[in-house]
């Protein structure tokens, strides 16, 4: 009986881990990501980058959060310039095809621009889907990139992160 209870507890814990979100802090930001996603960070020259991806990951999904302090003039520019620069930044990607452009306002008060596209990463034979959002946080820019070979139709992880991202203590 005790063994059954122990197995049940382990199963419940693992199930909980797969469905419960993690609340994380990074580069003065805080946001939520799915519980079974893990990450690695890089930090150099005023740019902090954190890449999240799920375990398994047959869909080859990832979420990237970049906080950059290298573009204070752009951060304080107008929304039209930000949107134009974001769209043009995709022109350098191989065989990129932009499917949508829009402005973005998050629940936590950030605003910015979004572009949806498909492109062919260097050295690969399959096209990837990319959603690139850039948000203004004072003199800093916060980039949120969702990249996937087979994108999640509901964009659950991307929407979770975007809905929760805010200035944090990290």
Give the one residue of 4, 92, 100, 154 binding another protein; rule: CB under 8 A.
92
User: How do beta strands 47-54 and 61-68 pair?
Assistant: antiparallel
Among 61, 110, 116, 129, binds another protein (CB under 8 A): 61
Give the span between the Cα atoms of 170 and 157, in whole angstroms: 20
Is residue 147 involved in binding another protein (CB under 8 A)?
Answer: yes
39 contributes a contact to another protein by CB under 8 A: no
Residue 4 CB, nearest approach to another protein (Å): 38
At its nearest, how many Å lie between another protein and the CB of residue 53? Answer: 6
61-68 sheet: strands from edge to edge = 37-44, 47-54, 61-68, 140-148, 128-137, 111-119, 97-105
Give yes or no for a contact between 65 and 143, defined as CB atoms under 8 angstroms apart: yes
Kindly tell me which residue out of 21, 104, 121, 155 binds another protein, with binding defined by CB under 8 A: 121
Task: With CA atoms as reference, report the closest residue to 120 among 147, 88, 155.
Answer: 147
Residues at the interface with another protein (CB under 8 A): 45-47, 49, 51, 53, 57, 60-64, 66, 68-71, 73-75, 77, 81-82, 84-95, 119, 121-124, 128, 134, 140-141, 143, 145-149
């Amino acid at each position: 009986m005790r063994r059954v209870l122990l197995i049940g507890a382990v199963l419940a814990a693992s199930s909980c881990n797969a469905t419960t979100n993690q609340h994380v802090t990074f580069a003065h930001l805080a946001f939520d990501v799915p519980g079974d996603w893990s990450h690695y960070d890089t930090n150099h020259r005023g740019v902090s980058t954190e890449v999240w991806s799920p375990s398994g990951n047959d869909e080859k999904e990832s979420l990237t959060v970049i906080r950059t302090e290298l573009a204070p003039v752009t951060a304080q520019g107008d929304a039209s310039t930000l949107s134009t620069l974001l769209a043009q930044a995709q022109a350098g990607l191989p065989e990129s095809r932009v499917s949508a452009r829009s402005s973005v306002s998050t629940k936590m008060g950030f605003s910015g621009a979004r572009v949806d596209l498909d492109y062919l990463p260097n050295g690969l034979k399959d096209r990837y889907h990319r959603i690139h959002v850039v948000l203004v946080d004072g003199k800093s820019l916060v980039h949120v990139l969702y990249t996937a070979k087979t994108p999640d139709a509901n964009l659950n992880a991307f929407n979770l992160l975007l809905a929760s991202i805010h200035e944090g203590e990290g």
